[in-house]
């Protein structure tokens, strides 16, 4: 892309009052909804935040699941720690499929200078049954759509979420 095209794209976004997003997860704008679950124009899970700061159920669920299994290494709010990278930053370039792959299969960066290992969570029901929820929570954090900490309010849990959770976890 030449510099003049880049400047025009950034300027157009600024004039439209929009926000420029990294290429990784693309534009998080809601393009479709299915029983309270939102997707962007590419069909990837995304979040919906009301003007009053109310988050959709799945973003709230993602917050809960992130804090049960991920925050110990990746830090509160996805801001990183000495053990693991800031996911709120990584999500600006990491697309949905790559995110799922890393969480499912893990990742290793071990050499003379690094000893970083992300364990595979493929057998962890608390993560895998809610992988989309964790993704939308981190996507919202990456785009500064929600502040750190527990979201102040959330939509009610849709019946579809209750059924999916019971089917995946076996807990009714």
* Residue with more model confidence, 6 or 102: 102
110 pLDDT higher than 80 = no
Domains and CATH numbers, the chain: 3-169 (1.10.760.10)
User: What is the rounded average pLDDT of the residues 50-70?
Assistant: 93
Q: Do 80 and 86 touch, CB atoms closer than 8 A?
A: yes
User: What is the rounded average pLDDT of the residues 18-35?
Assistant: 71
Residue 128 Rama label (left phi>0; alpha psi -120 to 50; beta): alpha
**Reported confidence tier of residue 159, pLDDT bands at 50, 70, 90:** very high
pTM confidence score: 0.81
């Amino acid at each position: 892309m030449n510099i003049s095209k880049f400047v025009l794209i950034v300027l157009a976004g600024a004039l439209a009052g929009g926000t420029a997003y990294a290429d990784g997860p693309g534009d998080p704008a809601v393009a479709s909804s299915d029983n309270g679950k939102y997707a962007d124009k590419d069909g990837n899970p995304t979040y919906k935040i009301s003007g009053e700061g109310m988050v959709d159920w799945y973003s709230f669920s993602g917050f809960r699941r992130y804090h049960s299994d991920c925050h110990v290494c990746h830090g509160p709010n996805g801001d990183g720690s000495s053990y693991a990278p800031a996911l709120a930053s990584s999500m600006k370039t990491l697309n949905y499929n790559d995110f799922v792959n890393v969480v499912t299969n893990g990742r290793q960066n071990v050499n003379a200078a690094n000893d970083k290992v992300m364990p595979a969570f493929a057998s962890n029901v608390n993560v895998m049954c809610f992988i989309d929820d964790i993704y939308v929570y981190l996507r919202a954090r990456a785009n500064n759509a929600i502040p750190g900490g527990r979201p102040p309010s959330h939509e009610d849990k849709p019946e579809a979420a209750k059924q999916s959770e019971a089917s995946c976890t076996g807990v009714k």
